[in-house]
Amino acid sequence: MKTLNDFDFKGKVVLLRSDLNSDVQNKKLLKSERISEAAITIKELKKKKARVVILAHQGRPGDEDFISLKQHCKQLNKHVKVKFVEDIIGEKAESEIKRLKDGEAILLENVRNLKEEFDLNSNKLTDFFSRNCEIYVNDAFSVCHRAQASILLPKYIQKSCAGRILEREVNALKKLKLDGTLYILGGAKPEDNIKLLGKNKVLSCGLFGQVCLMNKGKKLGEQENYLKNRKIFIEIDKNKLKNVETPSDFAVNINGKRKEIPVEEFPNENEIFDIGEATQKKYIAEIKKAKAIYMKGPAGDCSKKQFSNGTFAILKAVAGSKAFSVIGGGHLSDAIKASKVNIKKFGHISLSGGALLNYIAGEKLPGLEVLK
């Protein structure tokens, strides 16, 4: 795989696919490590006098966090100067690309606004960028499991390579030996997590833990509506749940305050925001026994301080264990910072969620394959 060391970027129009996808609350972008890290490659390309065109996404069409990248650009500008262009493949984008001088960078609008992003054939998006850009740099390891147009552009732009973040992720993962690993799977994307269910022991938490519990036959009440309305609930084969531990209590929100309720007291009218203390204790005992650990996604809603306890307790236990640990999940890396756990105690902290998980599950990632 080629890297930024393999090309002369001076005066070249470089299409950089970054991953800026971050937590959003009430349409407001939260402070994101993915964005500060993305700045590393942008800075290097600017220093090498490239004309940088950044392409990225936020959320999925129809979801609450599917917003413009305007706020991302503002946050990016705390680290590196980048101009926001409210267009992707239209005349405005084309003229801004043509106007770029050496060492300048622009960020285009959320690429998932285009239906062409989800089309695997050559289309208006692939035509536009193969016409306007000379080198493609993929710095979005965390999106490499998606066969989407902006990830598969090396098919259309002859010169392509990995950015620094992607390079760092791949190099670290090459060192992994995950046989017999304990999986701690949380977060809000169960369809990704089910790939790892089977032989290995799994501690389920986050929205995923609730989905597992429902699949074991437990009724949760109001929370079921939340999971079903947002299409988070999925059916999971009972056989796959054999090695999956599920939470034994949950923290709910009562007038803004945290209240812990045992699973036996569900169904009820409460929405769930975290795992409770009994679950934390049970999981920490397993973590102490583990030889290797892979943790993906938070155990609760860490955007609210009173519901960060579960995630912080698990992170502390993982950091304190002797096991080699890999932590993944873009949203989890922000929680790690907030938890104040010493990051040096983890084996590798990835900025990826689903992509890392697919990689660990032994799948080929379309974005990496096409870069080879």
Applying CB under 6 A, the residues found at the interface with ligand 3PG are: 19, 21, 60, 142-143, 146, 330, 353-354
With respect to ligand 3PG, which residue has the nearer C-beta, 118 or 226?
118
CB of 260 to ligand 3PG, least distance (A): 29
CB of 78 to ligand 3PG, least distance (A): 20
With respect to ligand 3PG, which residue has the nearer C-beta, 247 or 297?
297
**d(C-alpha 70, C-alpha 60), whole Å:** 16
CB of 63 to ligand 3PG, least distance (A): 8
Token couple for 46:
């600017």
Reported as half-sphere exposure (CB side, CA atoms, 13 A), residue 342 has a value of 5
Report CA dihedral (305, 34, 178, 168) to the nearest 10 degrees: -150
With respect to ligand 3PG, which residue has the nearer C-beta, 142 or 303?
142
Which contacts of 263-268 are long-range, i.e. CB under 8 A and separated by 24 or more positions? Answer: 263/213, 263/218, 266/218, 266/219, 266/220, 266/221, 266/223, 267/219, 267/220, 267/221, 267/222, 267/224, 268/221, 268/222
Reference 316, options 340, 281, 289; nearest CA is: 340
With respect to ligand 3PG, which residue has the nearer C-beta, 247 or 353?
353
Phi and psi dihedrals of 157, rounded to 5? Answer: -110, 115
CB of 164 to ligand 3PG, least distance (A): 17
CB of 328 to ligand 3PG, least distance (A): 9
With respect to ligand 3PG, which residue has the nearer C-beta, 150 or 246?
150
CB of 112 to ligand 3PG, least distance (A): 8
**d(C-alpha 39, C-alpha 80), whole Å:** 6
Reference 19, options 54, 68, 47, 64; nearest CA is: 54
With respect to ligand 3PG, which residue has the nearer C-beta, 227 or 313?
227
| Closest residue to ligand 3PG using C-beta atoms | 21
